[in-house]
Amino acid sequence: MTDTELFELLETRLFTAVVGDVLDQMGLRRQFLPAGIAPLQPGMKIAGRAMPVLEADIFDDAPEAAAGPLSRKPFGLMLEALDDLRPGEIYVATGAALRYALWGELMATRATYLKAASAILDGYVRDAAGIEALGFPTFCRGVYAQDQGPRGKVIDYRCAIEIDGVRIQPGALLFGDREGVLVIPREAEAEAIRRAVDKAETETEVERAIRGGMSAAQALETFGVM
């Protein structure tokens, strides 16, 4: 199926718990991002391809002796990374300390225009009301108004990153809802999605059986799912 069809399938028929269970069965047992990364609003649900962004902290205003190529460039490569978003991609950023916001309303406005799917921040966002008004799906560790400008820069993008030991390669399939965010490796996604659809259908049968009086132990023995 196309990516558009895949994203629609994830968002309409599946949820992270069932896909996570399947990944566990496939031996991929460290695919959930930390529980602290949650939707800005509970109903937000996302599916898309990762566009990883690497952040770094800064601690002064570029003294004359600074030799780094980004020393005197405000926000580093943040604006270039934002402008490089493609339809269906998710801006996913990590590397910064938890002392400033990594995303805001103007960034969400630009991402919406570019038809990006979402943003996932291993950190805070600001302008939360504006982001919510846009309806742009955003996952983060919370809200905090302190600005990135004098405190952090983007130093690379479309590069591999890790969040709490979970590797995110460019183009990896990301899937999130109110119960968590999953990183689904490209080489495993076809099998994982097929098995997740089967499991979700089986769980529907189990629910009907339990509502009809079947015991939990009998349901597990009968369906292999509980």
Angle at 13 between CA 12 and CA 18, to 5 degrees: 130
**Contact, 47 vs 11, CB < 8 A?**
yes
Strand 118-121 relative to strand 89-94, pairing:
parallel
Give 45-102 pLDDT, tens digit per residue. Answer: 999 999 999 999 999 877 778 888 998 899 999 999 999 999 999 999 999 999 999 9
pLDDT of residue 27: 98
Q: Where would I find the beta strands (DSSP E) of the chain?
A: 38-39, 46-57, 89-94, 101-103, 118-121, 124-125, 138-140, 142-143, 152-157, 161-163, 166-168, 173-177, 180-184
pTM of the model: 0.92
Spatial separation of the C-alpha atoms in residues 122 and 95, rounded to whole Å? 8
Helices 189-211 + 216-223 axis angle, to 10: 140
Spatial separation of the C-alpha atoms in residues 141 and 110, rounded to whole Å? 21
Alpha-carbon torsion 89, 95, 98, 99, what sign? negative
pLDDT of residue 220: 79
AA identity, residue 54: L
Tokens of 151: 């405190």
Q: 167: burial class by Cβ within 10 Å (0-12, 13-18, 19+)?
A: middle
Task: Give the confidence band of 226 by pLDDT, cuts at 50, 70, 90.
Answer: low
